Amino acid sequence: MESYQLNDHSCELLMEQSMLPTRLLSCPDQVCYDVTYEAKALRVRNNENGKETIWHLSMQSTQLKLQWVDSSSAQPEVPELLAAVEAAFVNYPHQKKLYLSVSSRQFTELFDSGVLVRTEDNQCIVYAELFWQQARIWHSSIRHQIFPIHYIFSHGRRHPLRPPKPQGTVYRRYITWLGGTLTFRAIDPVADLECFNRWMNDPVVTEFWQESGDLVKHRAYLSGIQTDPHMINLIGCLDDAPFGYFEIYWAKEDRIAPYYDVDDFDRGWHVLIGEPHMRGKPFVTAWLPSISHYLFLDDSRTQRIVIEPRIDNHKMLRNLAQCGYAHLKEFDFPHKRAVLGMLSRERFFSEQLWVPRSTTSPHSVSLS
């Protein structure tokens, strides 16, 4: 795991920039929209057919309000509304709720799913904590229904049968402070092998992964992950350019399980950032919250994410703390002394940890 540097000034700039007129690429229900915001006008344009809806977004007193104002056209469709709401929260990242003015008769499904909540005085509210749990906006391959529970045994451990491994892109999110789209996609063990081999032989990566070797070794390594049902491996990309490798695992079947009171749907992850130019200041604030977000979206029963970095990986530990991971204890793996880190679903969504934190808070920890 490589180091990152994000000082107080750069964090403050991120916060300030997120309040400026911004462009956003939003893809709810796999429909992609370009969204722009300037002078309180929010324009949502369908990239495929060019259709545009116009919204008014403003802060009135302490209330964030979004209103559909293009009465000359047909009512906005559900994906257009979702894209507009995402843009509203991106432009005002610390707001807990959004007041929405739009005819609600056609949006029954959004009330049913928790996107919209009706108040006692018949107003429509979108709560950020509920909205950011809507997999249809960022999760590119979400199943139509939650995978059912059927218990099996493997390697002497009882655990739920896991769903088939995903294919293609599984997560997509536009990162305003990078001006690009971050994605996670399933690794292609053939097409990505050369890149994976190069990353694994980078001295910075080797220091913590200790998996340097030739193509034959790394082909076998990836093959082992592909045949292991409790793990998936992903490639992180920015605007389709690969920058890092992520291993995701179900903790119940993993080597970490004996070291804490593991639940059936706990997830964990490992990471390497292979491209040196992506180890810089704001990148960790993009991919680290996003991998956490993806895991919580992937299965709504996942209440905790765990990670076990080496105890001497001080910069990684600081980054994890900044992104909401509690350091629970130190423990000994056969191959390393580690720290058990944990992020709860409730904390991630209630504290809006997908947003980079300002380091000016007296209780915050600086990313490095």
Q: Mind listing the pLDDT tens digit for each residue in 110-127?
A: 999 999 999 888 889 999
Q: What is the pLDDT of residues 207-237, one digit of tens each?
A: 999 999 999 999 999 999 999 999 999 999 9
Helix axes 284-298, 314-322, angle to 10 degrees: 60
Active-site option among 48, 120, 308, 346: 308
Average pLDDT, rounded, for the chain: 89
Residue 182, φ and ψ in degrees, nearest 5: -90, 130
CA angle in degrees (0–180, nearest 5) for 29-19-280: 80
**Phi/psi of residue 226, each to 5°?**
-60, -30
pLDDT score of 274: 96
What is Dmax (Cα atoms) for the chain?
A: 67
Bigger pLDDT: 358 or 196? Answer: 196
281 confidence band (pLDDT: 50, 70, 90): low
What pLDDT sits at residue 363?
34
DSSP 30: G
For the chain, what percent of residues have pLDDT higher than 90? 77
Which domains, ranges and CATH numbers included, belong to the chain? 28-135 (3.40.630), 140-350 (3.40.630.30)
As a three-state string, the secondary structure of 296-342 is HHHCCCCCEEEECCECCCHHHHHHHHHCCCEEEEEEECCCCEEEEEE
Question: How many Cβ atoms are within 10 Å of 64's Cβ, its own excluded?
Answer: 21
Contact 53, 68 (CB under 8 A): yes
CB 205 within 8 A of CB 199: yes
| pLDDT higher than threshold 90 for residue 8 | no
pTM of the entire predicted model: 0.91
173 pLDDT band, cuts 50/70/90, is very high
* Catalytic-residue membership of 308: yes
> Which helix (H) or strand (E) is 158 found in, with range?
strand 157-160
pLDDT in tens, 65-96: 999 997 666 788 999 999 999 999 999 999 99
For the sheet with 63-68, list strands across it: 23-26, 33-38, 41-46, 52-60, 63-68, 97-101, 124-127, 117-118
Residue 145 confidence (pLDDT): 81
Spatial distance between the Cα atoms of 191 and 185, rounded to a whole number of angstroms: 13
Q: Which two tokens stand for residue 60?
A: 């009135």
